[in-house]
Amino acid sequence: MRYWLMKSEPSEFSIDDLVTAPKKSTAWIGVRNYQARNFMRDQMQLGDLVLFYHSSCEVPGIAGIAEVSKLAYPDETQFDRKSDYFDPKATRDNPRWVHVDVKLVKKTRLVPLSELRGYPKLAKMQLLQRGNRLSITPVDPAEWKFIEGIL
């Protein structure tokens, strides 16, 4: 099993949206970074656990835990001309973008980024590294265990 952190802007899709989603599950659409796409396509497995992270908001932070419930498959938004995620270079024969489905495990207290930065045991966490902008990052098992203990 692997552990991941996946960022979502709460104005687009929040942990509360996942709580109320049918079957408490959703497709993680709109990823348009090749490294993040490759994590979903090549490394994520069913049952992998995910820290659901609210980003680009007043108080960014971990808002819950989800799990990968469906392996990578083509993101339909890349073909939709009306979508913000449309990609004119993508074709059905050669899709460029994929996503996985995630299912809610539990909503947690919001653990703000400022709090995460205060824990020496998380100093090497990819989320906390200068210049990190990836929407999906791996989480070390020791970091995961520590975070579980503070949720």
The model's pLDDT over 26-80, given as tens digits with 9 standing for 90+, comes to: 999 999 999 999 999 999 999 999 999 999 999 999 999 999 999 999 999 999 9
Tally of domains within the chain: 1
Rg, Å, the chain Cα set: 15
pLDDT of 132 above 90: no
From the list 69, 147, 59, the residue with the least C-alpha distance to 108 is: 147
Q: Looking at the domain assignment, is residue 78 inside a domain?
A: yes
CATH of the domain at 100: 3.10.590.10
**Full residue range of the structural domain in which residue 129 is found:** 3-137
Using alpha carbons only, give the angle 16, 118, 63 rounded to the nearest 5 degrees: 5
* List of E strands, 1-95: 3-8, 25-27, 49-54, 61-74
C-alpha distances (whole Å) from 70 to each of 17, 41, 52, 85 are 18, 11, 16, 21
Residue 73, in any domain of the structure:
yes
